[in-house]
Amino acid sequence: MGLILHEISASPPVRAVKLCLKELGLEAEYKLCNLLAKEQLGPEYQKKNPQHTVPTLEDGDFIIWDSHAINGYLVSTYAKNDSLYPKEPKVRAIVDQRLHFDSGVLFSALRNIGAKIFFAGEKEIREEDKQKVREGLAFLEKFLEGKKFITGDSFNIADFSVYTTASCLLVFVPELDKYPNVAKYFDTCKSSFKGISTDDEGLQAFKDLFKKATSG
């Protein structure tokens, strides 16, 4: 039985999983879960994922959600080597730290704004919410000092998460010129990830949603 990914293209965590699938050369059946139509709140979806988030992955009988957990699972199960999620404890600890930074700081700032703009009808981002984005990006700027990718010279699953979230944060707060390391990092990711063209479509879908939600 093949992999099934419940997804919507504009979602940054969905993009992170698609980048991982592409890098591993894995095929998956994509099943749209339209958040704007609240499809994630239906009983069938909640039976699979009571937290009702996308992405959710099905691998036969096994169901797992949260992009960070999904990508760790995919690499551990299907990769030919551990470069995307290194096994050496100290190296892995740093990758994990960046994954938690994405979840707890970057994505948290993004979800907070997304809830108000995409689902509560607010037309403008509040100043205090923009400030949270700037705080996250300032940390990222520091982490990237002297590094090509988020932990060093080669990329791993933390880059899939950080790149996809940060690229959307810069849509909410378009101040890339203030973060030169982040700007360089974006270029490096774009020229390195195998799945970047599909990923660009997801980012564009996010930009279109934001424009639609905040216009008029």
Q: Which residues lie near ligand GSH (CB under 6 A)? A: 11-13, 35, 40, 52-55, 66-68, 103, 107, 111
Q: Name the active-site residue from 11, 67, 161, 167.
A: 11
DSSP label of 121: -
Closest approach of Cβ 180 to ligand GSH, in Å? 27
User: Using CB atoms within 10 A of its CB, is residue 16 exposed (0-12), middle (13-18) or buried (19+)?
Assistant: buried
| 112 vs 181, beta carbon nearer ligand GSH | 112
Closest approach of Cβ 8 to ligand GSH, in Å? 7
| 77 vs 178, beta carbon nearer ligand GSH | 77
State yes or no: is 108 an active-site residue: no
| 72 vs 86, beta carbon nearer ligand GSH | 72
Closest approach of Cβ 176 to ligand GSH, in Å? 21
| 55 vs 195, beta carbon nearer ligand GSH | 55
CA dist 75 → 25, 47, 69, 82 (Å): 11, 25, 10, 7
The C-alpha atoms of residue 145 and residue 141 are separated, in whole angstroms, by: 7
Beta bridge partners, 59, equal 3, 62
From the CA atom positions of the chain, what is the Rg in Å?
17
Closest approach of Cβ 111 to ligand GSH, in Å? 5
Output the CA torsion 109→112→117→118 (10° steps): 110
Q: Which residues are catalytic?
A: 11
